Amino acid sequence: MRISVIGCGYLGAVHAASLAHLGHDVVGIDVDPEKVENLSAGRAPIFEPGLPDLLAEGLESTRLRFSTDIADAAGAHVHFIAVGTPQLAGSTGADMRFVDAAVASLIPHLRGGDLVVGKSTVPVGTAARLAPDIEAVGARLAWNPEFLREGYAVTDTIAPDRLVYGIADGDDIAVDELNEVYAAAIESDTPVIVTDYATAELVKVAANSFLATKISFINAMAEIAEVTGADVTKLADAIGYDKRIGRKFLNAGVGFGGGCLPKDIRAFTARAEELGRSDSVAFLKEVDAINLRRRERVVELVIERLGGSAFQKKVAVLGLAFKPNSDDVRDSPALDVAVRLHGLGANVVATDPEAIANSRRLHPQLTFGTVEEALAGADAVVVVTEWKQYRHLDPREVAAVVANPLVIDARNCLDAEAWADAGWEYVGLGRRPLS
Ligand code: NAD
| ipTM score for this prediction | 0.99
- Minimal-distance CA residue to ligand 1 atom 42: 148
Phi, psi for 173 (deg, rounded to 5): -65, -35
Is there a contact between 328 and 150 (Cβ–Cβ < 8 Å)?
Answer: yes
- Minimal-distance CA residue to ligand 1 atom 38: 11
Does pTM surpass 0.95?
A: yes
Distance between CA atoms of residues 246 and 334, nearest Å: 26
Residue 146 beta carbon below 6 angstroms from any ligand 1 atom: yes
Distance between CA atoms of residues 373 and 377, nearest Å: 9
Residue 150 beta carbon below 6 angstroms from any ligand 1 atom: yes
Residue 14 beta carbon below 6 angstroms from any ligand 1 atom: no
Looking at the chain, the domain(s) classified CATH 3.40.50.720 span 2-195, 214-428
Instruction: Identify the H or E element spanning 308.
Output: none
Q: List binding-site positions.
A: 30, 35, 85, 121, 147-150, 204, 249-253, 257, 263, 323, 330
- Minimal-distance CA residue to ligand 1 atom 17: 102
Residue 27 beta carbon below 6 angstroms from any ligand 1 atom: no
Q: In the prediction, which pLDDT does 22 show?
A: 97
Question: Which atom belonging to ligand 1 lies closest to the Cα atom of 122?
Answer: 32
Residue 120 beta carbon below 6 angstroms from any ligand 1 atom: yes
Q: In the prediction, which pLDDT does 210 show?
A: 98
CATH architecture for segment(s) 214-428: 3-Layer(aba) Sandwich (3.40)
Distance between CA atoms of residues 195 and 262, nearest Å: 26
- Minimal-distance CA residue to ligand 1 atom 22: 7
Distance between CA atoms of residues 110 and 112, nearest Å: 7
CA atoms within 13 A on the CB side of 429: 31
Q: How far is CA 87 from CA 96, 183, 326, in A?
A: 9, 34, 20
To the nearest 10 degrees (0 to 180), the angle between helices 197-228 and 232-240 is 130
Q: In the prediction, which pLDDT does 281 show?
A: 98
| CA of residue 146 to ligand 1 center, whole Å | 11
| CA of residue 215 to ligand 1 center, whole Å | 24
Is 8 catalytic? The answer is no
- Minimal-distance CA residue to ligand 1 atom 1: 9
Q: In the prediction, which pLDDT does 373 show?
A: 98
CB atoms near residue 67 (< 10 Å): 17
pLDDT, tens digit only, all 435 positions of the chain: 999 999 999 999 999 999 999 999 999 999 999 999 999 999 999 999 999 999 999 999 999 999 999 999 999 999 999 999 999 999 999 999 999 999 999 999 999 999 999 999 999 999 999 999 999 999 999 999 999 999 999 999 999 999 999 999 999 999 999 999 999 999 999 999 999 999 999 999 999 999 999 999 999 999 999 999 999 999 999 999 999 999 999 999 999 999 999 999 999 999 999 999 999 999 999 999 999 999 999 999 999 999 999 999 999 999 999 999 999 999 999 999 999 999 999 999 999 999 999 999 999 999 999 999 999 999 999 999 999 999 999 999 999 999 999 999 999 999 999 999 999 999 999 999 999
Q: In the prediction, which pLDDT does 81 show?
A: 98
| CA of residue 212 to ligand 1 center, whole Å | 20
Q: In the prediction, which pLDDT does 394 show?
A: 98
Question: Which atom belonging to ligand 1 lies closest to the Cα atom of 35?
Answer: 9
Residue 257 beta carbon below 6 angstroms from any ligand 1 atom: no
Using alpha carbons only, what angle is made at residue 36 by residues 319 and 184, rounded to the nearest 5 degrees? 80
Residue 30 beta carbon below 6 angstroms from any ligand 1 atom: yes
Among 106, 260, 261, 398, the active-site one is 260
| CA of residue 10 to ligand 1 center, whole Å | 6
Q: In the prediction, which pLDDT does 364 show?
A: 98
For 2-195, CATH number out of 3.30.420.40, 3.40.50.720, 2.40.30.170, 3.40.50.10260 equals 3.40.50.720
Question: Which atom belonging to ligand 1 lies closest to the Cα atom of 45?
Answer: 9
| CA of residue 122 to ligand 1 center, whole Å | 11
Q: In the prediction, which pLDDT does 195 show?
A: 98
Bridge pairing between strands 163-167 and 140-143: antiparallel
Q: In the prediction, which pLDDT does 84 show?
A: 98
CB atoms near residue 180 (< 10 Å): 13
